[in-house]
Amino acid sequence: MPKVTVYDMAGSAVGEMELDDSIFGIKPSRSVLHAAVVNYLANQRQGTQSTKTRAEVSGGGRKPWRQKGTGHARQGSTRSPQWRHGGIALGPKPRSYRISLNKKVRRLAIKSAFSAKVLEGGFIVVDDIKLDAFRTKSVVSMLGALGGGKKALIVTAEPDFKVIRSASNIPGVKTAEAGSLSVYDILNCDRLVIAKEAVDKLTEVYAS
């Protein structure tokens, strides 16, 4: 079982913790991680882009000039794609970009992401992440003591609004609760700063 040091919010080591092999000690699957990231990014797309075809733009009800004898190329409508204010040929229309992943792949992806973060030394367990008040300086101080890097993801067992609001205006810092973690957020951070209670909750959910 992989072991990690447990720190307090001041950055001092207060103990050690054994992590579950089936979640934090597997060989990360690159193909599954790639599929999970593509799935996440595709599902963030709104798909609301839209252009008008020649049938939807206004005007162009009559033939602009007779078919022959003018010296011009023949035209049937002033709303053909080649005309100014004409319709768009083959333009984008509203659509869904959603991609689905089955449950086994999603579980393997989240386990692979955790294991990769442990292997690279970016998995930092904190004994307890609690704030007495809404205070950004406290979060900055904690991340500085723990070596949070340019991008940090703070994970708590349950939504903690003091932590969420205090970290919300720090560039590169995101917060999440254990039940809403995404593979993309885990891989996209330099350091995953997680409460010990959240590790226990993840072990309970994902242990096989």
Is 158's pLDDT higher than 70?
Answer: yes
What is the per-residue DSSP string for 96-109?
-------HHHHHHH
Query: Which pLDDT value is given to residue 208?
Result: 62
Residue 134: what residue type? F
Between CA 70 and CA 59 the distance in angstroms is: 22
pLDDT higher than threshold 80 for residue 143: yes
Domains assigned to the chain: 3-45+99-206 (3.40.1370.10), 46-96 (no CATH)
Please report which residue ranges of the chain form alpha helices under DSSP H: 21-24, 30-44, 103-119, 136-146, 161-167, 183-188, 196-206
Q: What are phi and psi of 126, to 5 degrees?
A: -110, 135
Q: Give residue 26's pLDDT.
A: 92
